[in-house]
């Protein structure tokens, strides 16, 4: 059993710390509220980069949410990583929303080409009062 678990173990690729810069209310209906969150931040881990992102979120009447996100990361060497993600979230407290989902990476960088083969997973915490977000991205590399 331990060997199977070790094979399935994911590695932490990066930790992302970002802050919401703008919020756009897109629509509201009986399905919930559609909002776009734009944010900026920095990733640290197996690479270091500046990060910008738009997350399109449907906040449902029961307090859960579904989202899709698109991000662009740029390293100091000029390498670019494109990230797409989707997942679900829920409210833990008025100051703490948690979320989890899947993500993929795309890059033309030779140094970071290994990211193209990673099926990623992420989990994070969002503080709606401050707009601060922390996300850990994992993958089997």
- What CATH number has the domain spanning 10-139? 2.40.160.20
| CB-neighbour burial class of residue 60 (10 A; exposed 0-12, middle 13-18, buried 19+) | middle
Which pLDDT band holds residue 140 (cuts at 50, 70, 90)?
confident
pLDDT > 90 in the chain, percent: 91
pTM: 0.89
Q: Hey, where are the domains in the chain?
A: 10-139
Which pLDDT band holds residue 8 (cuts at 50, 70, 90)?
low
């Amino acid at each position: 059993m331990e060997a199977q678990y070790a094979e399935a173990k994911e590695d932490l690729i990066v930790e992302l710390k970002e802050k919401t810069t703008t919020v756009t209310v897109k629509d509201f209906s009986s399905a919930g509220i559609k909002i776009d969150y734009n944010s900026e931040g920095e990733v640290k881990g197996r690479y270091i980069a500046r990060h910008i992102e738009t997350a399109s979120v449907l906040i449902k009447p029961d307090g859960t949410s579904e989202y899709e996100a698109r991000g662009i990361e740029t390293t100091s060497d000029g390498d670019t990583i494109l990230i797409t993600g989707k997942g679900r979230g829920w409210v833990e407290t008025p100051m703490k929303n948690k979320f989890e989902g899947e993500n993929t990476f795309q890059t033309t960088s030779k140094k970071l080409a290994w990211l193209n083969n990673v099926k990623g997973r992420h989990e994070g915490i969002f503080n709606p009062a401050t707009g601060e977000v922390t996300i850990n991205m994992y993958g089997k590399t």
